[in-house]
Amino acid sequence: MTKKKILFVCLGNICRSPAAEGIMYGFIKSEGLENQIEVDSAGTMGYHTGEKADPRMRKHASQRGYDLTSLARRFNPEKDFSNFDYIVTMDNQNYEDVISMDRKYEYSFKVSKMAQFCKTHKVNEVPDPYYSGSEGFENVLDILEDGCKNLLTKIKDEFK
């Protein structure tokens, strides 16, 4: 069985997408699927390349048992479009930015929005928490747990 690879994408790759990566990895680990599903994250801008996730996001995530270990990197259209099976963007701007890098419309079928996997949260995007207080980070984690849970169910169904 070939491994499925998920890439989460936000703007800076220090708040939303590393949190999505950590949450999804936590779910994958608790189901023993580490050999079947791989996760990574990236940002559409490179200002924070090499940095750990924002300390506020790491703190809120760790309170829920998620360890965010990834270092920020910029989305690389040359490699990421072909390498990943699911490219899951956080907000509508991230989605448009990623789609616009798929110049020949070869990979757009892989690109989705996290909000479309949410069931308990009626949202159309994962809002940027960077300039918010604690409640913004908690809200992002709530949305991501909802979306990741349903995305994982969908991917597991595709293995069947």
What's the DSSP call for residue 104?
Answer: T
Q: Residue with CB nearest ligand 4NP? A: 12
Q: Which is nearer to ligand 4NP, 82 or 100 (CB)?
A: 100
Burial of 50 (0-12, 13-18, 19+ CB in 10 A): exposed
Question: Which positions ≥6 away from 89 have C-beta within 8 Å?
Answer: 8, 9, 10, 95, 98, 111, 112, 113, 114
Residues that bind ligand 4NP (CB under 6 A): 10-16, 43, 47, 128, 130
| Residue of 40, 80, 91, 128 marked catalytic | 128
Q: Which is nearer to ligand 4NP, 12 or 147 (CB)?
A: 12
Q: Residue 56 catalytic?
A: no
Q: What is the residue whose two structure tokens read 């409640």?
A: 135
Q: Which is nearer to ligand 4NP, 114 or 152 (CB)?
A: 114
| Residue of 10, 15, 118, 148 marked catalytic | 10
